[in-house]
A and B are shown apart, each in its own frame.
Chain A
Amino acid sequence: MEMFLMGLCMSVFGLGIAAVAFGAATRSESSDSAVQPELPLVKAVAPARFFSDRVAAPPAVPVAVSPRQVPIEVLLLQIENHVRMEQAAAESFLAFPTQAMLHSKTTSPFVN
């Protein structure tokens, strides 16, 4: 009988400890979540790709192309075409010299 009572007491005591431990565990979880700062929204992750498509993505704001960015080969070609057009205009003036011919406007893209 004594043995039975001792076992019963030990069981009740163990159950009490387990209940206290469970309560403590659940309390700490809820308090942690209460003080946890709000996480920023995470963007949807694109599926992984071997080649990044970041380069191909168009810029948000269109960037104006300055003349400085024209490749030098293109610039040289523009200069050469301009010289040819101006020479043709000068030849026309020499063939039929008038003030209007002398000051005729060029359509050369290099100066327009």
Chain B
Amino acid sequence: MTHELLNGLSSAEVEQVRKLGTRLIVPSGTSLFRLGDPADRLFLIERGRIRLTLPMQVRGREEDILVEERSPGQTVGWSALIPPYRFTLTATAPLFEAEVIALPREPLRQYFAANPAAGHKIALNLAVVIGHRLQLFQTMWLREMQRTVEVRSA
């Protein structure tokens, strides 16, 4: 499987990066990480789906509201590479268990330092992932704002 984070890397480089990680099974309904947790690993999804949620007050109760759902080949938990290294969302496996490769920050940084060309490609891939999220949420925010403006000016 080709992961978005490892696009453009040679198969040998892909293998080296994968060896830095640990395979984890996320049972259905359990959290991979929670909002506010220290982020010291990012995750490549191998199998299953991961729901990213944010807490919202609904009728006085705190409910996890879906923000995004990620599938095999995609990346979650890139807060592990961005200060202050805290997760800003909660990630859970919804209906079925998921399998991920957990890549710890420090070994990954050491690999980047030792293999700058591969590190550069991974950094560019990460920029695409983060940029896409930014554009997506910017658009969604603007659409919600537009609706609020229409309601208020009606």
Contact = CB atoms under 8 A, between A and B. Distances in A.
A72 B59 contact: yes
A79 B63 CA distance: 11
Nearest to B56: A79
Given A72-B59, A111-B147, A87 B136 contact: yes
A103 B140 CA distance: 10
A80 B66 contact: yes
A80 B65 contact: yes
A46 B132 CA distance: 69
B30 interface: no
B139 A102 contact: yes
| Chain B interface bracket (under 10, 10 to 19, 20 to 34, 35 or more) | 20 to 34
Contacts, number: 47
Given A80-B66, A83-B67, A90 B143 contact: yes
Contact of B142 (A75, A102, A106): A102
A86 B68 CA distance: 11
A76 B63 contact: yes
B143 A102 contact: yes
Contacts of B11: none
A90 B143 CA distance: 9
Given A75-B58, A111-B147, A91 B66 contact: no
A94 B137 CA distance: 11
A90 B139 contact: yes
A103 B65 contact: no
B146 interface: yes
Interface of A: 72, 75-76, 79-80, 83-84, 86-87, 89-91, 93-94, 102-103, 106, 111
Interface of B: 56, 58-59, 61, 63, 65-68, 132, 135-137, 139-140, 142-144, 146-147
Given A80-B65, A89-B143, 7 more contacts: A72-B63, A75-B58, A76-B65, A79-B56, A79-B66, A87-B140, A102-B143
Q: 4 closest pairs, A vs B, by CB?
A: A90-B139, A80-B66, A90-B140, A90-B136
